[in-house]
Amino acid sequence: MTRLTRFTRTTAFKLSLLYIAVFTVMSGVLLVYVSENTDHLMSEQVVQAVDAELKGLSDVYVRGGVRDLVQTIDSRSRHPDASLYLLTDFSGNALVGNIARLPTVVLEEADGGLRRVRYTRLGQDTEDIERQAMVRTFELRGGFRLLVGRDLGEQLHFANLLGNALRLWLVVVVVMAAITWLFVSRRVMKRIDDISATSRMIMNGDLSERLTIAGNNDEFDRLAVNLNAMLDRIELLMQSMKDVTDNIAHDLKTPLTRLQTRIEIALREAKGEEGYRGALEATLDETDQLLRIFNALLRIARIESMAPGSVMEPSDMNKLIAQVAELYEPLVEDEGGTLEIDVPPDLHADCNRDLISQVMVNLIENALKYGRPETGALRIRLGGKEDDGRVILFVSDNGPGIPEEDQARVKDRFVRLEESRSEPGTGLGLSLVKAVASLHGGDLRFKNEDPGLCAWIDLAPVKPASSGSGNAEAGTGHKEEPNRE
């Protein structure tokens, strides 16, 4: 595509063309209107002047007869102004006047009508110069014919002048419009081209690129600001996706490498069936860990894409927490800690029992791993309360807590704080808690209680009217569970 065709296809060019066309038509209309009106006005003046002159001359004729009339016309004819006179006798011979020649028909039809004629002026012109005039001719008593008129030269000259001025103005307007629009459209095109160019750069992979903002807050600036905001969001998403992928790569690489090393060592050094068995059992443990990571990732992804309505039912929080506590109490005791329950009676929430139980389990396991105080026994508190229209479920410990600056970070996938790297774990526990919390329209939050950390999520409470049925449903446990016994 050539530059020209590219230019002519732009919206700016088409708009300019339309603008110029409209302007030209309007100017043309104006031109015609002005010249028509001027012409009309001047003709009127001519007619009035001629009529006044005629009246004067006919008075002269009535009072003084032909002789006086001839004298008056003769003296007036000598003035070099625009007035024209001609007096003829009954046979058409000119008696007096300043017209040398004019069409004979004008004199023959002396009906007093206004006529536009070409004539040659006496004494001033050579034979071949013709002028234009407006004339009236009357027949006087005695066969005399009197012609009075006014030369139109001045008027024509003025009309000509006006026409030329208007035409010139039209040309100037069109040219100016074209120039202005060219300038404007070039500016517009430049901005759009800038945006296109930046977009191309971004498409080519440089996500940090941004559209320039001119600072005059025009529509292009507003567009650029919005596009930049969109780019910020995309960059953030890309970054977090990259982080997740990097993390997956890193966290899966470690157990895979370990697995490979074990197999290599076994092949090289293991002796006898016993040796191979040991090596195989060790690799099985590694694959178990890998499977666990995959399952946790899949489960989080699944929870994040779940429709909340499909998996929720009103549940009794007392029952739910008691069951989780019952599962974990022996383990906590074996670890030398205590597990306490703190739930007010009749606390119900709309939730998925399995997912919320897993949330509690994950938080308890975190407390077991990281919530141990430097001195004294681990104390885990497990509870719920109603606060500000939400049901809060919390797990607190009496350990070192999480530094404030890390509290947001630990919810991300695979994030494990330096101190905890040595502990076994996938780094996905809190990510799952966060995913479940947002599925329930809530969030995972932390508070350092000095000593200890309180981690909590919030759920939608079940309204008192429906809590009765919720109770019953929670009471029957798992309806979807087929008869197992």
Partner 1 sequence: MLRILVIEDDPEAASYLVKGLSEFGHTADHAADGQTGLQMALDSNYDILIVDRMLPKMDGLSIIQELRRDGNHTPVLILSALGQVDDRVKGLKAGGDDYLPKPFAFTELQARVEALARRPQSANQVETTYQVGDLTLDRMAHSCRRGETDIPLQPREFRLLEYLMQHAGQVVTRTMLLENVWEYHFDPQTNVIDVHISRLRGKIDKGFDTPLLHTIRGAGYTIRDAAH
Cβ neighbours of 197 (radius 10 Å): 12
- In whole angstroms, how close is the CB of 454 to partner 1 at the nearest point? 21
Q: E strands within 283-428? A: 313-316, 338-342, 348-351, 379-387, 390-396
Question: Could you tell me where the DSSP H helices lie in 122-218?
Answer: 153-203
- The alpha carbon torsion through 60, 61, 63, 64 (nearest 10 deg) reads 90
List all residues 6 or more positions away from 191 whose beta carbon is below 8 Å from its beta carbon.
Answer: 214, 220
**131/121 Cα distance (integer angstroms):** 8
Q: How far is it, in rounded angstroms, from Cα 20 to Cα 14?
A: 10
Alpha carbon 257 to chain centroid, angstroms: 50
CA 238 to chain centre: 23
Put residue 376 in one of left, alpha, beta given phi > 0 → left and psi -120 to 50 → alpha.
left
Residue 312: name the closest of 351, 344, 270, 341 by CA: 351
Longest dimension (CA), the chain: 162
Write down the least CB distance from residue 446 to partner 1, Å.
20
- Give the strand pairing for 379-387 and 338-342: parallel
Contact 392, 418 (CB under 8 A): no
Q: Give the residue with the Cβ less far from partner 1, 205 or 482.
A: 482
CB of 354 to partner 1, least distance (A): 5
Enumerate binding residues for partner 1 (CB under 8 A).
Answer: 281, 284-285, 287-288, 291-292, 294-295, 298-299, 302-303, 306, 310-311, 323, 326-328, 330-331, 334, 352, 354-355, 357-358, 361-362, 365, 368, 424-426, 429, 477-478, 480-485
Q: How far is the CB of 228 from partner 1 (least distance, A)?
A: 38
Nearer to partner 1, 102 or 320 (CB): 320
Q: Is the dihedral of CA 32, 37, 43, 46 positive or negative?
A: negative
- Rounded least distance, CB 299 to partner 1, Å: 6
CB of 306 to partner 1, least distance (A): 7
Output the smallest distance, CB 473 to partner 1, in A: 14
Question: By C-beta, is 135 or 351 nearer to partner 1?
Answer: 351
User: What is the nearest approach in angstroms of partner 1 to the Cβ of residue 281?
Assistant: 6
Residue for token digits 């012409």?
39
Judged by DSSP in three states, 423 sits in: coil
Task: Pull the structure tokens for residue 376.
Answer: 């004294």
Q: Please, what is the minimum distance in Å from the beta carbon of residue 365 to partner 1?
A: 5
Which residue, 213 or 263, has its beta carbon nearer to partner 1?
263
Token pair belonging to 305: 């894409």
**Residue 12: CB minimum distance to partner 1, A:** 54
CA distance 263 to 348: 52
Residues in the chain: 485
Cβ distance to partner 1 smaller for residue 308 or 400: 308
Q: Where are the beta strands (DSSP E) in 319-364?
A: 338-342, 348-351
For partner 1, which is the closer residue by CB, 133 or 428? 428
Number of H helices, E strands in the chain: 11, 13
User: Quick one: DSSP state of residue 460?
Assistant: E
Of the pair 72, 362, the CB lying nearest partner 1 is at 362
Contact, 397 vs 332, CB < 8 A?
no
CB 234, min distance to partner 1, A: 29
Nearest to 479 by CA among 354, 358, 346, 361: 354
Paired with 393 in beta bridges are 384, 457
Q: Look at residue 371 and give its three-state secondary structure.
A: coil
Q: How far apart are CA 197 and CA 203, in angstroms?
A: 10
Smallest separation, CB 356 to partner 1 (Å): 11
- The nearest distance, CB 302 to partner 1, in angstroms, is 4
